Structure 1
Amino acid sequence: MSLDEPIYARGKELSEQVNPGMEEALAARYDALVPGLSRMVVEVPYGTFYARGVVDEKTRLLATVAALTAQGGQTKPQLKVNIASARAVGASREEVCEIIYQMTLYGGFPAMINGLNAAIEVFEAEDD
């Protein structure tokens, strides 16, 4: 991916790599309420930020897992999506758990426990 590539195209390519079908799922659920929301999610976080190419997808997704963990339990749905995405680009279970564990320092023990619970759910789904 190149920064010269249109933002939507960059975002669509990456979002399909790490979270196939995300845009369509968002469109089906939210676009009637907020028209264009699904495209905006592809363009802004994926096309503008995640696909910059300065750091690899695994590093970027582990950073996202860290941030969502530190924010606490209200981010569980997004945390699970990003843990699964990190796994899709090569993050090991141990790396994911270590990043979540380190967030004890920034989000506290409850945030870390909530993050580990989200990771367990993702890992259990992988095993099914």
Structure 2
Amino acid sequence: MRDEIHIEELAVDAKIGVPAEERGTEQRLVFSIKLVPRSNFRALGDDLARTVDYAAVAAEVRRFVALRNVKLIETLADGVAAHLLELFPLVEVRVELRKFILADTKHVAVRVTRVSTERQS
């Protein structure tokens, strides 16, 4: 079994949407992210430097989103997943992204799972 870190319901403001007028105003998106680190928790020795710093992940997601102006939540979720795999020592990342735009629904959502091409240590 693999050890996992979960960041649930991270709220991020973003300019996103197909029509230009929708992209003109920030709207709230919610991310839920599952991180599978390269090292298992037993190997950490209670040392933050040896794990994936979830505060740094959350900050990086916010920074990444702020620098993007995309139309589709699919594009954004895929980009966030790929970016996190590049920056952090992860084997796998799953990103669920929710948008609150469709009338008479709680939200719409996409989920992507990406796996690192690097070998696990």
Identify whether the pair has TM-score above 0.5, normalized to the shorter chain: no
Bigger RCO of structures 1 and 2 (CA < 8 A, at least 6 apart): 2
- Higher strand content, 1 or 2: 2
With the shorter chain as reference, the TM-score category is: 0.3 to 0.5
